[in-house]
Chains A and B, each alone.
Chain A
Amino acid sequence: MLTTALILLPIAGALVVAMLPLSRELTAGLAFLVALMEVGLWIAAATRFDFDGGGPQLGTTEEWIESLGISYSVGFYGFSLWLAGVTVVVSAVAIGYALWVGRDRPRAYHALMLLLTGAVVATFASQDLLLFYVSFEAMLIPLYVLVGVWGGARRMAATLTFVVYTMAGSLLMLASVVAFGVTQGTFSLLDSGTSDNTWIFLGFAVAFAVKAPLFPFHGWLPLAYREAPVEVAAVLSAIVSKTAVYGFLVIVLAKFPEPVDDFTGLILVLSGAGLVYGSLLAFRAPDLRGIVAYSSLAQMGLVTLGLFALNDLGLDGAVLQSVAHALVSTAMFLLVGMVERRTGSGALAALGGMARGRPALATVLLVAGMVALAVPGSVTFAGEFLIMAGAYEQGWGYAVVVALGIVLAAMYVLRLISAVLHVRPGSAVRDEALDLRPGELALLLPLVACLLALSVWPALVSESSFPGDQPARVITEGFR
C-alpha cells in the first residue's frame, strides 16, 4: 500500500495544483508541500523496509488485464527503494527551486513536475513489464512540455531531438514488451522466466541506452540539458536517467542472461568509450551546462560499466554511484542555475572571480565539486572504487578506463570551479551579484548533507541494495 501511496500522492497533488485557482506563490508553495510530504512518505516506507528480506516489499498486486497476464504490480527492492529515495529528494529540491525562481504559469508547471515525480517513482516500483513501460512513457509527457514551454531559446530543437531519440527507443521497447509478454504468457516480472531472444533483448537494451544515455545514443543530451530549465535538467540527469539503470537491472540483466553474455563485451567497451568521451567533452565544453551535461554522460557510462561487470562489486558500485550521481548532479545543475541567474551567462569565458565576497557560493560549489570529482573519502569515490574493482574482474583494461575517467573528472570539475570562482572576474560578473540567498542555501544544504552523510557511511546504500548483499546471485536468479 505504501508504494501505491508513494505513486499516487504526487499525481493527486498534481491534479489539485492544476485545478485550484490559487495565487502564484500559493500554487508553487502547495506543490513544494506535496513534494515534502512525498519525502516524508518515503522515509516512512524506508523505516518499514526490511533490507535483509528478499523480493519486492511494501507492494501490491492487482489484476489489470487477465487474458494477457497484465497486472498492476508494484513494490521495492533495496536498490529501487534507494533510487526512489533520491527521486523524491531531488524532485522536492527541484520544485523548491522553481518556487524560489518563480516560474511562469505555475499551475501547469508544478502540476507537470509532480506528475513527473509520480511517473518516475512508478517506474522504480514497477514489477510488471507493462506497468514499467507505461510509467517509463508517462515520464516523457510532462518532460516534453516542461522543456518545450519553459526551456531556453532553442527549446523547440531540444524537445524535438529529445522526443525523437527517446520515442525511437521506447517504441522498439514496446515491440520487445509485446514479444516478451506474449511469449511468456505473462507480463509480470516476478512470474516470467528468461528469454534467449537477441532481438527482444536489443529492443530493451537500446531503449535504456537512449534513456541513460549511453554512448553513442546520447545525441539528444547536450541540447536538452542546455535548453531545459535548470531544475528540469537536474531531474533529467539525476533521476530520469536512473530509470535506465532500473531497467537494465530488472529486465535486461535478469531476463536475458544469454544475450547479455553475448553482448557484455560490446556494452562494456561502449560504456568505457562513453566515460572517456563524455569526460573529454566536459573538459572542452565552453559553458557550465555543457560541463555538467557531458559529465552526466560520463557518469552514466561508469554506472553501466559497473552493471555489466555483472559481479557483486560492480553492481553494488553501480547502485551507489547512481544514488550519489543523482544528488551531485542536482546540486551542480542548481548551482549552475544560480550562477546563471546572477550573471546572465553560462559561458566560462564570461565568468570568474565569484569567490571573492561570496563565501557561501564558493563553499557549496567547492564541496559539491569535490564530491563530483570523487575525492577520496567521498561517496562518489566509494562508488567509483567499487565499479573499478568490479570492472577489474572483467579485465584489467576496463579498470584502467575507469581510472582514466576519475582523472578526467578531476580535470573538468576543477576547470569548472576555477572558471567560476577563481581567476579574474569575468565580463558578466558584476560586483552587485549576490552571494547565495538563504532560500537557495536551504535547497542546496540538504543535498550536500546527504552527500556528506553517504560519504561517511556509503555502506548504508551499498550493503542494503540487494538482500544478503549478493547482487550477482540475486540477479542471475531473476530476483526470486
Chain B
Amino acid sequence: MIETPSVDWLALSPALALLGASGIALLGAVLMPSWMRKTVAAVVVFAGFVVAAVFAGIVFDETPQPDVLLAESMVRDQLGAFAQLVLAITGAVVVFVSWAEKRRDNGEYYALLAAGGAGMLFFVQAESLMTLFLGLEWFSLCLYVLVAFDTDRATSLEAGLKYVIVGGFGSAVLLFGSALVFGSTGELGFEQIAAAGAGDDAFLVAGLAMILAGLGFKVSAAPFHMWTPDVYQGAPTSVTAFMSAATKTAALVVTLRLLVTAFPDESEIWTIAVAVIACISLAWGNLAALAQRDVKRILAFSSISHAGFMLIAIAAGSERGAEALLFYLVPYSAMAIGAFAVVAVREREIGLPLSLDGLAGLGWERPFYGVALWIFMLGMAGFPLTGGFFGKLFVFSAAYEVGDWWLVLAGVAATALSLAYYLNVVRWLYMRSGTELRLAPAGGSPPRDIALGIAVAAAVFVTVGSFFAAQPILDLASDAATALPF
C-alpha cells in the first residue's frame, strides 16, 4: 500500500469543478451531434463557473485562518477564495458575452475558457514558485489558443502568435527569476523563502526583479505591456473581455501574495520598484490611449493604466493597500467585461473592427448599450456613482496613509489625462449621429442577443452597485487581506 497524502478537496474544488466542466465540454464536442454542441458546452461551462464560485464562497466562509496544503505548495485562505470568487463570476459572465459569437468550434472554445479559468483559480492559490509557474503556464496556454481562435481572421492569428512569443518570454524571465531565488535561498515555498532570511543577497534581489517582470507581463504593466494592445485588438472580443478582467485579477492577486509573503524583508526594494512600474504604466497607458482610434486598443491602453492604479495599492505595502487592490478588482472587472461586451455588440452589428467612428450615434440608436458604455467609461475615469470612484479613492487613501503622497499626485494626474479619451468615447456615443457616416452593416441589424444584454446589465449592476454598497465589498476585501502577513 502506498500512503496517499491527505488532500483538502474542498480547497481544490473550485478549480476541479471547472476542470470537470472543461472535460465534459470537450468530450461533448467530439461525441455529440453538432447542433447541440454549442448549447451543451455553454451550459456546462457556465454551470462550472457557477459551481466554482459557490465552492469559492464556501471556502471563503469556512477559512478564517490560512492553511497550507499539498506539501506546502498551495494555500487555502480567504485571499485566494476572494480572487476565485471574482474570477469565477467573471468567467460566468464571459460565457454570456461569448454566446452569440459566430464560430465553428464552440465545444473547444468553451472547454478552453473553462480550462483557462481553472488554471487561474489554481494560480491564485499558489504558495510556492513551482505551483505559481505551473498555474501561470496552465492558463496562459489556454489563452494563447483562445486569442488565435478566429482562425479565419489574420489579425486573430497574428495576435495569438504575438502573445505566445511575448508570453513565452515573460514566462522564461519568471522561471529564471525563480531559479535565482531558489539558488539563493534553497526554498520554493513563499513562507520558506521569507524564513530563509537571505537578506540583501544579490541573487535574491535579481530573482525578485525577474519574477516581478514576469508577473508584470501578465498584469500588462508598462514596460512589460507591449503585447497588450495588439492582442486585445486581435483576439475575439469575448476573449479580450475575459483576459482584461480575469488575467489581471489573477496576476495582481498573485503578485500581492508573493511580494508580501515571500519577500517581506525586501519590502523597501519592491515597494519602490512597484511604485515605479505603476507610474510608468499610468503615464504610458494614458498617453498612448490618447492617440488611438480603435476602441479595443483604447480599452487595452486603459487597462494598462488601470494596472498602474492597482499597482499603487500594492506599492503601499500595507493591509489598507491590499484591501484597496481587492476592492478595485471588483468594479474594474465589471467595467472591463461590460465595455468589451458593448464593443462586441457594435462589432457584430457593423461587421467591422470598431473604431471611434463606428460608435457614432450608438447612444441614440441603442439607448441601453449607450448608457451602459457611458457608465463604464465614467467608472473607468473614476467618476462618482460608480465603484471605480471608490476603487481610486481607496487606492489613494492607502498610498497617502503610508506617506506616498507623490503616488497620489501621479494617480490624480493620470486620471485627468484619462478623462480625455474616456469622455471622447462618450462624445462619439452621443454627440455625433450615425447617419452622418456611411457604415456598411453586414446583413442588416443583428439578431436580438439577450445573453449579451444580460451580461451588460450584470456589469452595470456591479459597477454602480459597488458604489452604493461599497461597504460589504470592502468588508470581504479586508477579510481577504487579513490572510496576508502584514
Residues of A within 8 A of B (CB): 63-68, 105, 130, 133-135, 137-138, 140-141, 144-145, 148-149, 155-156, 159, 163, 167-168, 171-172, 174-175, 178-179, 181-182
Contact = CB atoms under 8 A, between A and B. Distances in A.
A186 B323 CA distance: 18
Given A163-B419, A171-B412, A178 B397 contact: yes
Given A67-B474, A141-B385, A156-B431, 13 more contacts: A64-B471, A130-B393, A135-B384, A138-B383, A138-B384, A148-B427, A148-B431, A155-B431, A171-B416, A174-B412, A175-B412, A178-B397, A181-B397
A66 B383 contact: no
28 contacts: A64-B471, A65-B390, A65-B474, A67-B474, A105-B364, A133-B384, A134-B384, A135-B384, A137-B384, A137-B389, A138-B383, A141-B385, A144-B426, A145-B430, A148-B430, A159-B427, A163-B423, A167-B416, A167-B419, A171-B412, A171-B415, A174-B396, A175-B396, A175-B412, A178-B408, A179-B400, A181-B397, A182-B401
Nearest to B394: A68
Nearest to A163: B423
> What 3 pairs between A and B have smallest CB-CB spacing?
A134-B384, A178-B396, A171-B412
Contacts of A134: 384-385, 389
Contact of A66 (B393, B408, B423, B471): B471
A105 B365 CA distance: 12
B409 interface: yes
B395 to A, nearest CB: 9
A167 B416 CA distance: 7
A140 B426 CA distance: 13
Contacts of A68: 394, 397
A178 B423 contact: no
Nearest to A134: B384
Nearest to A145: B430
Contact of A182 (B385, B397, B415, B427): B397
A86 B389 CA distance: 30
Contacts of B413: 171
Contact of A175 (B323, B401, B409): B409
A144 B423 contact: yes
Contact of B385 (A138, A156, A172): A138
Contacts of B430: 145, 148-149
A140 B384 CA distance: 10
Contact of A141 (B383, B390, B400, B408): B383
Contacts of A145: 426, 430
B378 A141 contact: yes
Contacts of A105: 364
Contacts of B384: 133-135, 137-138
Nearest to A178: B396
B393, B396, B419 — most chain A CB neighbours (10 Å): B393
Contacts of B364: 105
B408 A175 contact: yes
Interface residues of B, number: 32
B478 interface: yes
Nearest to B323: A67
B419 A179 contact: no
Interface of B: 323, 364, 378, 383-385, 389-390, 392-394, 396-397, 400-401, 405, 408-409, 412-413, 415-416, 419, 423, 426-427, 430-431, 470-471, 474, 478
Contacts of A64: 470-471
A65 B471 contact: yes
A200 B423 CA distance: 27
B427 A178 contact: no
Nearest to B420: A164
A174 B381 CA distance: 13
A149 B431 contact: yes
Nearest to B384: A134
A384 to B, nearest CB: 36
Contacts of B415: 171, 174
Nearest to B364: A105
B474 A182 contact: no
A133 B382 CA distance: 12
A156, A174, A178, A181 — most chain B CB neighbours (10 Å): A178
Contacts of B383: 137-138, 140-141
A106 to B, nearest CB: 13
A65 B400 contact: no
A145 B427 CA distance: 8
B405 A172 contact: no
Contacts of B389: 134, 137
B95 to A, nearest CB: 29
Given A137-B383, A163-B423, A179-B405, A67 B470 contact: no
B316 to A, nearest CB: 12
A31 B431 CA distance: 23
Contacts of A141: 378, 383, 385
Contacts of B423: 144, 163
A10 to B, nearest CB: 14
Contacts of A66: 471
Contact of B400 (A130, A172, A178): A178
A63, A133, A171 — most chain B CB neighbours (10 Å): A171
A200 to B, nearest CB: 10
A19 to B, nearest CB: 10
Contacts of A130: 393
Nearest to B430: A149
Contact of A63 (B385, B409, B471): B471
Contacts of A156: 427, 431
Contacts of B474: 65, 67
Nearest to A137: B384
A73 B64 CA distance: 34
Contacts of B405: 179
Contacts of A65: 390, 470-471, 474
B400 A182 contact: yes
Contacts of A133: 384
A184 to B, nearest CB: 12
A20 B390 CA distance: 31
A105, A159, A175 — most chain B CB neighbours (10 Å): A175
B390, B430, B431, B474 — most chain A CB neighbours (10 Å): B431
A207 to B, nearest CB: 12
Contacts of B416: 167-168, 171
Nearest to B419: A167
